[in-house]
């Protein structure tokens, strides 16, 4: 099972405050621990919402809203993708997040990533083949 550990934004991440050398080292050590365990699948930090945008659809028509966005509780500062055997294992890895992050006041949300089998019969063999081709293409890039 794959899970996304979502590092929630806070005032510092939204202000564009970069991590200290100590914080970068702690996050690097955590990522190395995940990699050494064979569970790390990816992850990145994100720029503040002031440098982003949202595309909102209403009646099928898109409207572009430029950042920043007011409610930091709803924003993401970064993510890590892990592949583990259970929800409980994902929680255990999230519990090991570097405590130095955000001065010990960080929030990590854990969300399971959909797999092909989760979609049932609606995910036809043709759609599975299309998805497999896309994933193969992305793996080559």
Instruction: Give the CATH number of the domain where residue 128 resides.
Output: 3.30.70.1060
Residue 73 above 80 pLDDT? no
Domains in the chain: how many in total? Answer: 1
Give the per-residue pLDDT at 139.
Answer: 86
> Helices marked H in 1-141 — which ranges?
11-14, 21-36, 87-95, 125-140
The continuous run of DSSP H or E covering 6 comes out as strand 2-8
Beta bridge partners of 110: 5
Contact 89, 11 (CB under 8 A): no
For the record, the structure tokens of 133 come out as 């081709």
- Half-sphere exposure (CA, 13 Å, Cβ side) for 61? 2
H helix and E strand count, the chain: 4, 6
**Residue-number span of the structural domain to which 94 is assigned:** 2-140
Kindly state the percentage of the chain with pLDDT values over 70: 100
Q: CB-based contacts of 107: which residues, under 8 Å, 6+ apart?
A: 7, 8
Residue 57 above 90 pLDDT? yes
Contact 79, 6 (CB under 8 A): yes
Give the per-residue pLDDT at 71.
Answer: 77
Residue 22 above 90 pLDDT? yes
pLDDT, the chain, mean: 94
pLDDT digits over 34-55, tens only? 999 999 999 999 999 999 999 9
Token pair 């939204």: residue: 14
Please tell me the pTM assigned to this model: 0.89
């Amino acid at each position: 099972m794959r899970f996304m550990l979502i590092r929630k934004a806070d005032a510092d991440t939204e202000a564009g405050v970069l991590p200290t050398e100590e914080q970068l080292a702690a996050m690097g050590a955590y990522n190395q621990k995940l990699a050494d365990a064979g569970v790390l699948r990816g992850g990145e930090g994100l720029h503040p919402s002031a440098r982003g945008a949202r595309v909102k659809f209403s009646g099928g028509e898109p409207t572009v809203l430029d950042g920043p966005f007011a409610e930091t509780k709803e924003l993401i500062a970064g993510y890590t993708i892990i592949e583990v055997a259970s929800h409980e294992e994902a929680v255990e890895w999230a519990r090991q997040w570097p405590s130095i992050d955000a001065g010990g006041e960080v929030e990590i949300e854990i969300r399971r990533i959909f797999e092909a089998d989760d979609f049932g019969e609606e995910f036809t063999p043709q759609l599975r083949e299309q998805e497999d081709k896309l994933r193969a293409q992305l793996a080559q890039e």
